[in-house]
């Protein structure tokens, strides 16, 4: 069965959906890939790898590829505050 809606009805539905989405926050995952983590820290992936090797930053490997928690990266940055 096919339902045909009038333009007025479509506009009302679109407005209702937009209203509901306005209050919703799109949550980005807290887990970052290697590239995203390097971008988050504003450094190269090579430098990030070095920090992991030195034990400065934790990398998690649930599926082989390293993942990083944005919260932990932020905390690490705060420990290196100058002044």
Kindly report, residue by residue over 61-75, the tens digit of the pLDDT: 998 999 999 999 999
pLDDT over 90 for what percent of the chain?
A: 55
For position 25, what pLDDT does the model report?
A: 55
For the record, the structure tokens of 60 come out as 């998690």
Kindly report, residue by residue over 40-64, the tens digit of the pLDDT: 999 999 999 999 999 999 999 998 9
Average pLDDT, the chain: 86
How far, in Å, are 19, 20, 47, 49, 82 from residue 74 at the CA level? 33, 32, 16, 17, 15
State whether the Cα torsion 40-44-47-52 is positive or negative: positive
Nearby residues of 45 by Cβ (< 8 Å), 6 or more positions away? 34, 35, 38
Q: Domain spans of the chain?
A: 31-78
Q: Which residues pair with 41 in a beta bridge?
A: none
Kindly report, residue by residue over 10-24, the tens digit of the pLDDT: 677 777 766 776 765
- State yes or no: pLDDT of 26 exceeds 60: no
């Amino acid at each position: 069965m096919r339902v045909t809606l009038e333009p007025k009805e479509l506009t009302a539905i679109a407005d209702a959906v937009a209203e509901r989405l306005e209050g919703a926050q799109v949550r980005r995952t807290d887990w970052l890939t290697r590239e995203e983590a390097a971008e988050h820290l504003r450094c190269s992936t090579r430098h990030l790898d070095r920090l992991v090797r030195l034990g400065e930053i934790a990398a998690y490997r649930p599926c082989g590829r390293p993942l990083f928690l944005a919260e932990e990266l932020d905390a690490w940055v705060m420990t290196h505050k100058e002044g």
